[in-house]
């Protein structure tokens, strides 16, 4: 899943170059990193990417190993449920195969543990014909993530714990989040899934029948015809998340407890965890001379950045545009993007 | 006088491109603007520029109207007294001519009033064989400027007031500065002068005899010989200001009261007075989108600058280097330059 525009990473992320196509945390782009993470587990010929139509060319360039026919541009953004349904129909010839659903913009560095978790998830998907999700051990009472409530006893395969899921819950308020975390019975919803192709198609038929029937009427055997039909059908699909549309309603849901590190890198603050850090807590990907400055987050490419007497700023240079933002206001970078849209500065979007 | 390195304008000003060669406040560089200000008063063929040797080529490029032989590179920096003495010796064939001494890095926008003041100063220089300085009406109790104490009654020529000067005083402390300003009898020392060539040469002979004799031994009729001799002699000259070396000791000093606007643009704060300003008091020379931001000073060339929730910052982008500095710390930009020298980042100097 490589949709999404990542306005929170403006000015690095642009309409033509969203977060997943950028090297936000390292030298590779996030989608290159996601693809590389599957090495040894899923052969490149069996990887599909669903993205916005505008990004298909860039993705093919960034990952030349992908089959051209496997990089699919959505006619418009319709959230994750439509994206997953589209992918499942593309694979419908193999109903017994296991399909992993992975966002292209997460950071996971422990590839070995990641692959081990995926293997266990695949095994559960086959053994129990389950919808399998990946639960992330909460490290704080996050209000920005959905949670999974666990049910019954945990079991283990090959050192990886798993459990049935009682329910999916939406982003909670602070006090609810606290109670979830202290109970020990909740995990963050990592937004990654494993299931048999046939099982998720059945789930769409049951829980999102309109989406299912719209897509099932398409003749998928002829790519050109399918492409034209999709352009007509896709904009009318229900725009909802797979969590809300399927997982919250489904039974027989399992969670694998992730043993790998995980970050959805939702803001510069989160990205800065991957930058090098000086003694004053300044996180920078560029040469930084910080005089009496603390808690900065800096990415200005090859540019030298010098600061005097400033604290807790996000300083991001993207060549034609520069952002200087109070760290506490990181979520409001969206306001800049809104103003660019409202004004005549569309070329900076 | 086009010496000086202007480290306070780093990263725009560099060793190879000091403040006077930069368009700090407008579209022309400060030296181009200073040259242009003399139009109609001093023909280009009678303008001389004394600068650091490194900047001679740039100055000739910026002001092609100047005679090549009139752009003189100092072998090393020796403050303003040596610079003025050098200039006076270059003009010694015309002892009765009036010589204006003008720093190349001041902003004066009212050219008409400026020229009128210079005409009056020239008249005083001839009529009284005086050393004439330009006094600036103080607008606040500045501790960064020297002051002129006036003596006796003011007189007027052509709408311009002038007066004898009792004494030159160095940069005062805050309370002394306040008493000067409230007395009404003090003006800022604008660092510009007018005198007959013969009169200033006599003054050097009297008050800085070593400088005078070192330079008088040079054969100025042969430029190449003079250049070689200067390279030998100049580094040994006393390094002091013309204010301290001559003006504080001389008698028969007059001040013309400037009727023109004046700024020595000593910092980004001063330069920002010439930038366009929005309702929140943000002064910018670049496209600026300021969300909940106040009191910014921004110059990032053609780059779009966007800010969220930040106050009273100086944000300067110079292509290969970016400065973000608390306004109250503007004087400490020098610390950055010192660190660049100490480290291995000389290319940013």
> Is the CB of A289 less than 8 angstroms away from the CB of B336?
yes
Q: What is the least distance, in Å, from the CA of A346 to any CA of chain B?
A: 12
Please answer yes or no on whether B315 and A304 come within 8 Å at the CB atom. Answer: no
- Chain B residues with CB-CB distance to A305 below 8 A: 321-322, 324
Residue A264 lies in a domain: no
The answer to whether the CB atoms of A315 and B323 lie below 8 A apart is no
Task: Indicate if B45 and B160 belong to the same structural domain.
Answer: yes
Of the partner residues B313, B319, B321, the one whose CB lies closest to the CB of residue A324: B313
Residue A229 vs residues A47, A55, A79, A92, A200: alpha-carbon distances, Å: 23, 20, 19, 17, 22
Measured distance CA(B38)–CA(B34) in Å, rounded: 7
Q: CB B306 to CB A324 under 8 A?
A: yes
Burial class (CB in 10 A: 0-12, 13-18, 19+), B344: exposed
B141 domain residue, yes or no:
yes
User: How many inter-chain contacts (A to B, CB under 8 Å) are there?
Assistant: 125
Residues in chain B within 8 Å Cβ distance of A13: none
H/E segment holding residue A157: strand A147-157
Per-position pLDDT tens, chain B of length 349: 999 876 889 999 998 899 999 998 888 999 999 999 999 999 999 999 999 999 999 999 999 999 999 999 999 999 999 999 999 999 999 999 999 999 999 999 999 999 999 999 999 999 999 999 999 999 999 998 999 999 999 999 999 999 999 999 989 999 999 999 999 999 999 999 999 999 999 999 999 999 999 999 999 999 899 999 999 999 999 999 999 999 999 999 999 999 999 999 988 988 999 999 999 999 999 999 999 999 999 999 999 999 999 999 999 999 999 999 999 998 899 899 989 988 777 788 8
CB contact under 8 A, B313 and A300: no
Query: Across the interface, do A339 and B291 touch by the CB < 8 Å criterion?
Result: yes
B348 to chain A: closest CA residue? A304
Q: Is A289 on the interface with B (CB under 8 A)?
A: yes
Chain-chain contact of A309 with B329 (C-beta, under 8 angstroms): yes
B340: which chain A residues are within 8 Å (Cβ-Cβ)? 289
| B233-to-A77, B222, B223 alpha-carbon distances in Å | 76, 16, 15
Q: Which residues pair with A107 in a beta bridge?
A: A263
SS3 state of residue A183? helix
- What span, in angstroms and rounded, lies between the C-alpha atoms of A295 and A345? 31
Q: Is residue B125 part of a domain?
A: yes
Work out the minimum CA distance from A342 to partner chain B, whole angstroms: 12
Same domain, yes or no: B320 and B189: no
- Look at residue B262 and tell me if it is in a domain: no
Cα B186 from chain centre: 20
CB–CB contact A321 B306 (8 Å): yes
Q: Does A344 share its domain with A290?
A: yes
For residue A1, being part of any structural domain is answered with no
Residues A283 and A244 in one domain: no
Residue A166 lies in a domain: yes
Other C-beta atoms within 10 Å of A244: how many? 18
Q: What pTM was estimated for this model as a whole? A: 0.87
B326 shares contact with chain A (CB less than 8 Å) = yes
Distance from CA of B338 to the nearest CA of A (A): 11
Domain identity same for A319 and A248: no
| Final residue before a domain boundary, out of A198, A225, A257 | A257
Using alpha carbons, select from A101, A72, A99 the residue that is nearest to residue A196.
A99
Residue A202 lies in a domain: yes
- CB neighbours of A222 closer than 8 A, spacing ≥ 6? none
Q: Number of folded domains in chain A?
A: 2
């Amino acid at each position: 899943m490589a949709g999404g525009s990542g306005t929170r990473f403006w000015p690095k992320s642009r309409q033509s170059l969203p977060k997943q196509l950028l090297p936000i945390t390292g030298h590779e782009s996030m989608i290159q990193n996601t693809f590389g993470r599957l090495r040894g587990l899923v052969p490149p010929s069996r990887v599909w990417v669903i993205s916005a139509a505008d990004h298909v060319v860039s993705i093919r360039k960034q990952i030349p190993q992908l089959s051209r026919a496997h990089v699919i541009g959505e006619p418009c953004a319709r959230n994750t449920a439509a994206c997953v349904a589209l992918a499942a129909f593309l694979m419908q010839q193999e109903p017994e195969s296991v399909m992993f659903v992975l966002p292209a913009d997460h950071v996971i560095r422990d590839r070995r543990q990641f692959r081990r978790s995926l293997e266990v998830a695949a095994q559960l998907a086959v053994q129990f014909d389950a919808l399998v999700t990946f639960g992330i051990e909460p490290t704080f009472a996050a209000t920005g993530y959905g949670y999974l409530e666990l049910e019954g006893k945990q079991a283990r395969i090959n050192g990886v714990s798993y459990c049935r899921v009682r329910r999916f819950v939406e982003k909670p308020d602070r006090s609810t989040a606290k109670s979830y975390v202290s109970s020990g019975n909740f995990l963050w919803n990592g937004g990654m899934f494993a299931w048999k192709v046939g099982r998720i198609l059945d789930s769409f038929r049951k829980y999102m029948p309109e989406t299912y029937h719209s897509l099932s009427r398409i003749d998928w055997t002829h790519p050109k015809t399918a492409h034209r039909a999709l352009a007509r059908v896709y904009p009318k699909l229900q725009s909802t998340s797979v969590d809300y549309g399927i997982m919250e309603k489904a039974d027989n849901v399992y969670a694998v407890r992730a043993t790998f590190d995980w970050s959805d890198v939702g803001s510069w603050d989160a990205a800065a965890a991957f930058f090098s850090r000086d003694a004053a807590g300044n996180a920078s990907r560029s040469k930084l001379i910080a005089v009496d400055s603390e808690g900065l987050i800096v990415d200005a490419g090859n540019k030298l950045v010098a600061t005097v007497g400033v604290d807790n700023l996000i300083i991001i240079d993207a060549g034609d545009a520069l952002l200087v933002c109070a760290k506490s206001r990181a979520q409001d970078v969206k306001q800049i993007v809104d103003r660019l849209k409202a004004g005549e500065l569309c070329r900076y979007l």
